[in-house]
Amino acid sequence: MDTVEWDERRLRMIEETPEQWCPNLKVLEFDIGAHGFDSLKEFITTPYGKGGLGIPIEKAIQFLEYNPAYEHQAGVFKQKLGIQDQAINTPVLGDVGVSKPSKSENRNIKGGSNQRYRIAKLKRDYPEIAFRMEQGEFTTVSAAERAAGILGPKMSTVEKLVRAYDRLSDSEKQEYRDIVCPRCNSWDTVPVQDTAVYRGGKYKNQYPTPHTGEVK
């Protein structure tokens, strides 16, 4: 995004109603690094004259929540904006009695206390990762847990597709092949996995022949 478009989008976010604030922020987020910002929070709070939006975080959250059509994306942004502060303010597990929340608490708080517990545990078991989270390196607790080796690597879109395909019924697999096969130049180069299970970086079964699902 060039400087002209960047400035135009910033100006719209300041002057117009926040109806499209969430999608506009999503577009700008991709280029914050190219414009000298290290984090989304820094971009939002930096004065407009210095390239940011010049908006307090509390006000930004109100704008994100303005349009309920973007509730999910607003939640993602709010988590990104809050994770660094939460990491700084959460004590080490055991030091100040941070305990694991009950199932009923988890249902009510939807991950709030649970996230705090996970941060506290990272501080106790992986202090170097927790320090990097406090510096704003991670946008989610899950990302920090992956860096610590607690969680496995995030699945790619292809891996998710393979797993989803494996859960289909035979008729659904046939329907999927009827749609996808005509779009493929060759099933030798663009195969679809039949009854495949992705484990340890390998597929369990061979590729199916087009339209039949028979394993070669």
Count of all residues that appear for the chain in the document? 216
* pLDDT beneath 50, residues of the chain: 101, 103-113, 187, 189-216
Q: Nearest CA to 13 among 30, 1, 27, 3? A: 27
pLDDT value for 53: 93
What is the C-alpha to C-alpha distance for residues 142 and 153, in angstroms, rounded to an integer? Answer: 10
The H-assigned helical ranges of the chain are 3-15, 21-29, 40-45, 57-64, 71-89, 103-109, 112-125, 127-134, 141-148, 157-166, 170-180
Provide the token pair at 116. Answer: 């705090």
Question: How far from each other are the two terminal CA atoms of the chain, in whole angstroms?
Answer: 47
What is the C-alpha to C-alpha distance for residues 109 and 162, in angstroms, rounded to an integer? Answer: 33
The amino acid occupying position 208 is P
- Evaluated on CA atoms 128, 134, 136, 140, the torsion sign reads positive
Residues sharing a CB contact under 8 Å with residue 6, sequence separation 6 or more, in sequence order:
28, 31, 35
CB under 8 A, 24+ apart: contacts of 25-34? 25/64, 25/77, 26/73, 26/77, 27/1, 28/1, 30/1, 31/1, 31/6, 34/1
Q: Which one-letter DSSP state was computed for residue 198?
A: E
pLDDT value for 184: 66
pLDDT value for 42: 86
Q: What is the pLDDT of residues 87-122, one digit of tens each?
A: 777 888 875 555 554 544 433 333 443 777 888 889
pLDDT value for 61: 80
pLDDT value for 125: 92
pLDDT value for 162: 85
> Could you tell me the pTM of the whole model?
0.42
Q: Nearest CA to 123 among 153, 154, 102, 96? A: 96
Q: What is the pLDDT of residues 60-95, one digit of tens each?
A: 888 888 888 888 888 888 777 777 777 777 888 875
pLDDT value for 127: 92
